[in-house]
Amino acid sequence: MFSWQAWLAASAVIMVLLCINLIFHQYVYRVVMCGVQMRVAYTGLIFRKVLRLSSHAMNNFSSGEITNLLANDANKVELVHYFLNYLWVAPLQIIAVVFVLWQFVYYVTFIAIGYTLLLLLIQPLFSRLFLHLRTEVLKTTDERIKIMSEIIKSMRIDFVQLSHGENTLVGDQGVMLSGGQKARVNIARALYRDADIYLLDDPLSAVDAKVSKHLFDKSIKNYLRDKIRILVTHQIQFLQDATKIIILDNGEMVQMGTYEELLVSSPLFAQLLEDINQHEQEQEQQQPISLLNQQSMIGSINSENDNIDEENMNSLTKNLETKQEGTVKWNVYVLYIRSGIGVILGFLLIIILFATQQSIAIYSNWWLVAWTNDESHRYHQNSTNCVPIQDKKIDRIYRMNSIEWNTYRDRRFYIFCVFVFILCFLIFLRTVVSQLIFLNAGRVLHNKMFKRVIRCPISFFDTNPVGRILNRFTSDIATMDESLPMTVFDFLVSLSQVLGTIVLVIFLNPWSFISAIIAASGMLFVRYRFAPCSRDLKRLVGTTRSPVYSQLTSTIHGLKVIRSY
């Protein structure tokens, strides 16, 4: 290599690193923003698709399975842009690398290309295996979320009265309301809509006679007098106030007219009224008086709590989802390792595996450098034959004949192959052991969380929406099974490499420890500025997803009502 080529190569390396630092972060930012927009669009598509699905189709899916699409699959869609660009960048990189290597090693370049092509041929096999495993994981995840959703929904009770008046937390699907309270809340919501047409699907059946008459007179008859009202009911006491009466039989209209017209023209209508009156009288005679009084007291529209003190108002917000402030506590990391394999054994295994692998990697690099220097000295001797001898080892290399030199080179090669084999084995071992520890930690933490959930009091499910609980079992568990092991593993690899490099540099040149301290201080300062923002953003994302899942769950269960409007 000529001197100008060396200077050109060094300058090119510096410029490439500079361009990477200037462009790469902007590229990642743009790609992430585009991925976020895709995830939002994907979420919107799921919502719109749910609204269009028929009731028969919805019977084949649970709300937990659909929530899993938003929690896990939407995140995968967000990563598509990041990896999609490699499809066109990789060929350009291969062409550039071939061009550069050809300038130095010529035909040896095709060996590297052949190795790359071999990997491309093997890659589909690993992709199919990964796809099969991933499909099985998704099936298991969907089944787990479906079971969790069913378990959570089964842990419900209805309260018989509002505890804090209009400020009472309704809860997911109105679990904190009785049937009559749900009816009154739904009627109030309909009145607030101020629509032109109202379709009321028997809202008065869940309240007693006193409350139903009050609601009919004050709300349906008086407040909505200028609106088109379609009331579906079996309570005949309201028929006299109806403008038109439609009698249905198995979903088909058999008669239509006013109350007076039907009484005169339809003996069937008169007989129907008589049968209903007789049936209601028999039920009233069989029903205890105390139960009637109790229902009247519970369903009374006048039982309101107008005065709520400050203590009760504070109790309304105690179950709102909050995010933790400050740094992550050390006991969180300890709990994670303890769940994987145990604190002492876990830390010992991780330290031994990573330290041993990094030590052998450094020693193999030193061995390769020494071998390269020997080759350089030998080549320099053969080309000049007039190099002054300054070292006994160099002198020994110079005095070797061809047979001795070939034996010495073979020994170097075999020892280096042993290093490479041990290094590959340790890399494989530390990867497998680390992933097993992290996956076991996720399994143990999931089982603990599941046991805690099924042992929680009923009040926990009344004050925490289904979406919030499913968010823990979908998004958070997916992060703990997929992203967190990779992140922790990359951190341990980077930490071992940095510590190994610092130790090696200090061993070779102790004065370089000063520059290492300066560089470490700069990186710690950057981390001090970056980590709090990144940590708070992650926590904010985690807390804001729960309302989305709750809204989706409520939408699924209220599709019939939504479509009626």
For 472-496, what is each residue's pLDDT tens digit? 777 778 778 878 888 888 888 888 8
Which residue did the predictor score with more confidence, 338 or 320? 338
- Residue pair 46/69 in contact (Cβ under 8 Å)? The answer is yes
> Looking at residue 317, what DSSP letter applies?
T
Sign of the torsion formed by the C-alpha atoms of 351, 354, 360 and 361: negative
Mean pLDDT for 35-60 is 83
Cβ(437)–Cβ(521) below 8 Å: no
Q: How far, in Å, are 299, 378, 415, 420, 422 from residue 367 at the CA level?
A: 87, 17, 9, 11, 14
State the pLDDT confidence band at 425, using cuts at 50, 70 and 90.
very high
Q: Is pLDDT of 384 > 80? A: no
Contact 41, 78 (CB under 8 A): no
Range of 42-46, 251-255, 290-294 with top mean pLDDT: 42-46
Q: At residue 262, what is the residue type?
A: L
Per-residue confidence at 147, pLDDT binned at 50, 70, 90?
low
What is the model's pTM?
Answer: 0.52
In which band, very low, low, confident or very high, does the pLDDT at 274 lie, cut at 50, 70 and 90?
A: confident
HSE on the CB side for 460, CA within 13 Å? 11
The answer to whether residue 273 scores a pLDDT higher than 60 is yes
CA distance 190 to 187: 5
Query: Averaged over 203-226, what is the pLDDT?
Result: 79
Q: 517 exposed, middle or buried (CB, 10 Å; 0-12, 13-18, 19+)?
A: exposed
What is the predicted pLDDT for the residue at 305? 39
Q: What is the pLDDT of residue 145?
A: 62
Task: Please give the C-alpha separations between residue 111 and each of 117, 146, 416, in angstroms, as whole numbers.
Answer: 10, 52, 20
CB 178 within 8 A of CB 186: no
Residue 449's pLDDT is what? 86
Question: Which residues, including other chains, have CB under 8 Å from residue 358's CB and lie 6 or more apart?
Answer: 496, 497, 499, 500
CATH of domain 165-302: 3.40.50.300
409 bridge partner residues = none
pLDDT-derived band at 138, boundaries 50, 70, 90: low
Question: How far apart, in whole angstroms, are the C-alpha atoms of residue 378 and residue 95?
Answer: 34
Which run of H or of E encompasses 253?
Answer: strand 252-257
pLDDT-based confidence at residue 92 (cuts at 50, 70, 90) = confident
Tell me the pairing of strands 197-201 and 228-232. Answer: parallel
**What sign results for the dihedral spanned by CA atoms 387, 393, 399, 405?**
negative
Tell me what pLDDT residue 280 has: 60
Specify the 3-state DSSP secondary structure of 387: coil
Is 80 exceeded by the pLDDT of residue 267?
A: no
Rounded-to-integer distance, Cα 64 and Cα 141, Å: 10
Within 103-194, residue ranges assigned H as helices are 109-154, 179-193
For helices 512-557 and 484-508, what crossing angle results, to 10°?
A: 180
> Is 178:161 a contact under the CB 8 Å cutoff?
yes
State yes or no: pLDDT of 223 exceeds 50.
Answer: yes
Q: Indicate if the pLDDT at residue 407 is higher than 70.
A: yes
Complete DSSP assignment for 466-506: HHHHHHIIIIIHHIIIIIHHHHHHHHHHHHHHHHHHHHHHH
For 104, other C-beta atoms within 10 Å of its C-beta total 11
Give backbone dihedrals phi and psi of 318, rounded to 5 degrees, phi first: -75, -20
Is the distance from CB of 305 to CB of 164 less than 8 angstroms? yes
Angle (CA) 141 144 146, round 5°: 110
Q: Domain segments of the chain: what residues?
A: 165-302
**Would you mind telling me the total number of residues written for the chain in this entry?**
565
- In this structure, how many other beta carbons lie within 10 angstroms of the beta carbon of residue 126? 10
Task: Tell me what the mean pLDDT of segment 557-563 comes to.
Answer: 74
Instruction: Give mean pLDDT, residues 426-430.
Output: 90
Cα 85 from chain centre? 23
Out of 81-90, 160-169, 177-186, 326-335, give the one with best mean pLDDT: 81-90
pLDDT given at position 156:
38
Residue partners of 224: CB distance under 8 A and separation at least 6: 191, 198
pLDDT value at 456 more than 50: yes
Highest mean pLDDT among 169-178, 324-333, 368-377, 481-490: 481-490
Comparing 19-28, 176-185, 401-410, the range with the smallest average pLDDT is 176-185
Question: 28 forms bridges with which residues in the sheet?
Answer: none
In the numeric block, the tokens 């390792």 are attached to: 337
Q: What's the CA angle centered on 488, arms 421 and 335, to 5 degrees?
A: 120
- Give the CA distances from residue 86 to residues 90, 107, 338, 483, in Å, rounded to whole numbers and listed in that order: 5, 27, 38, 20
Q: How confident is the model at residue 309 (pLDDT cuts 50, 70, 90)?
A: very low
The answer to whether the CB of 276 falls within 8 A of the CB of 234 is yes
- Please state, in angstroms and rounded to a whole number, the distance separating the CA atoms of residues 212 and 235: 10
The C-alpha angle with vertex 65 and arms to 63 and 67, in degrees rounded to 5, equals 65
* Predicted local confidence at residue 307, as pLDDT: 40
